[in-house]
Amino acid sequence: MGFCFLGRGKSGDLPPRPECAPSWQPALLQGLKHLQLTLVIGQYAKAWHMPDAKGSLTETVAAWQQYWPDIVPLPHPSPRNNIWLKRNPWFAQQLLPVLQQRVQQVLASAD
């Protein structure tokens, strides 16, 4: 969300600076004329790209079919999320296989 890594805090990576996304995201997204899939990764991306999504990130990811096929909310990829993955086996069983197919479709259509 900030195009930079701000370092580590007490409980993980530091959050993106609040002025970063508003300064670059609108222009970047406007320039993506053939955007077919948006991966919304983590709580900060959820807050920016899905401001109307209610509930926690886990609840939003669990409701992924509501946003399919254009937007896919995902947890932040981190070794710290191994516990989350163990508690939410549906993520690997249900969401990841169809997401992999969707990514292949998007890449194939770009040829």
User: Model pTM greater than 0.75?
Assistant: yes
Asked if 40 contacts 49 with a C-beta cutoff of 8 angstroms, the reply is yes
What top-level class would CATH report for the domain 34-109? alpha beta
pLDDT band of residue 18 (cuts 50, 70, 90) is confident
Q: Which residues pair with 8 in a beta bridge?
A: 13
34 or 68, which is more confident: 68
Among 60, 38, 30, CA closest to 106: 38
Domain boundaries, the chain: 1-33, 34-109
DSSP states of 42-82 as a string? Answer: SHHHHHHH-TT--S-HHHHHHTGGGTTTTEEEEPPP-GGGH
Residue-wise pLDDT tens digits, 37-96: 999 999 989 999 999 999 999 999 999 999 999 999 999 888 888 999 999 999 999 999
CA 79 from centre of chain? 16
Dist. CA 79–CA 83, nearest whole Å: 9
